[in-house]
Amino acid sequence: MKFSSITLLLTAASSALTVSAFTQSSAFGVRSQSGLFMSEATEEEAKVSKKNKRLQFMKDDQFYRNGFKDVRKDVEDVMEGQFKSKLVDDMKENKHIVEREGVRVHLASDFGFCWGVERSIALAYEAVKHFPDRKVHITNELIHNPEVNDNLGNMEVNFIEKTADGKDFSVVGEKDVVILPAFGASFEEMQLFNEKDVEIVDTTCPWVSKVWNTVDTHQKKGLTSIIHGKYAHEETVATVSFCEDYLCVKNMEEAEMVADYILNGGDKPAFMKHFKNAVSDGFDPDTMLSNLGLANQTTMYKKETRAIGKMLQKTMLEKFGPVDAETHYMEFDTICDATQERQDAVHDLVVNAKELGLDFILVVGGWDSSNTAHLLEIPQLSGIRSFHINRAECITADN
């Protein structure tokens, strides 16, 4: 393929780092489809205590969320060597542009790892170094970045196998170390590990735990949580483990289906068939859609989440009137700032593509990364030629 003089490179999930990852405050939260069940407890206890139980787990001496200072400097050096780029530094100093041999590359104004991801990587690396003689497991990919996960594999971290019946935790033995990834892990998984004699290293992004606090508020107020997210995504799976009644909508179209059912009723079996994998056990749309709270998967479009929120608010106004609507609907802003900043940066490039003379937009990130997928959709929806790669090796002389 012959390239013109101006192209664009957008790094979505791999590039320069700062040392802020090692100094930021930490937070915690969990969930994942594991086929596990809670310890026996009354239904009423479960409704009010999941968050409190999680906080109790976090106080255990075998639970770590602030890293390990004894190996921090070594990990900082390793991460600088793996992820820092002189080329990127040069581009940042030159208005995010580099030109070589007639090819001009524009780098998005916001790109690369957010501090939450940097923190997650740092904690995982520190755990491996701090427990050199222990078997270390991780409940999922740390993040959706192949190089980072390959690095952990090379450090002999065991990725828990997923089977048809859920995750196989039988390989986790006493005194082993278990890393919880940036997406979090389920309440049930966390409870299981708390009952085992293992060390737990929590790398959950604080923005994710912020969403969990939101659905906990929904629960206390007797609201059904409407989750704007992909029901099978690790983060959403984690979030719904802290809900009692919930329904996941992946986009505005599905949210409109919910709004229409609230206002007009409809074909209940058809509604439940469509959302069969995206609702809580025993969900009844006839009784569980009158009091709603909105939350989201942190990597979704902020504009779409806000649009869904406005539509649901309007729906409740129409259903219950202006006086009572506020008692039937609640929402908090749980969108990750870094996610929005990167989406805005791509949007700016799309808007200015003609002026910049861009031939195409290149998005770099994991194939299974929700963040990367949404970044790619922005130019595609605007008719801008765009490509997605997960590694530099995807670019060869033949393409």
Question: What are the catalytic residues?
Answer: 235
CA-nearest of 237, 224, 206, 242 to 370 is 237
Contact 31, 187 (CB under 8 A): yes
Tell me how far apart the terminal alpha carbons of the chain are, to the nearest angstrom: 5
Determine how many CB atoms are found less than 10 A away from the CB of residue 129: 15
Instruction: Indicate the helix (H) or strand (E) that contains 137.
Output: strand 136-138
| Interatomic CA distance for residues 294 and 292, integer angstroms | 7
Sign of CA dihedral 121, 126, 129, 130: negative
Contact 245, 225 (CB under 8 A): yes
Per DSSP, helices labelled H in the chain are 43-58, 72-83, 86-93, 115-130, 146-154, 187-195, 206-220, 234-240, 252-264, 268-274, 302-328, 337-351, 353-356, 370-381
Amino acid, res. 178: V
Beta strands at 158-159 and 136-138: parallel, antiparallel or unpaired: parallel
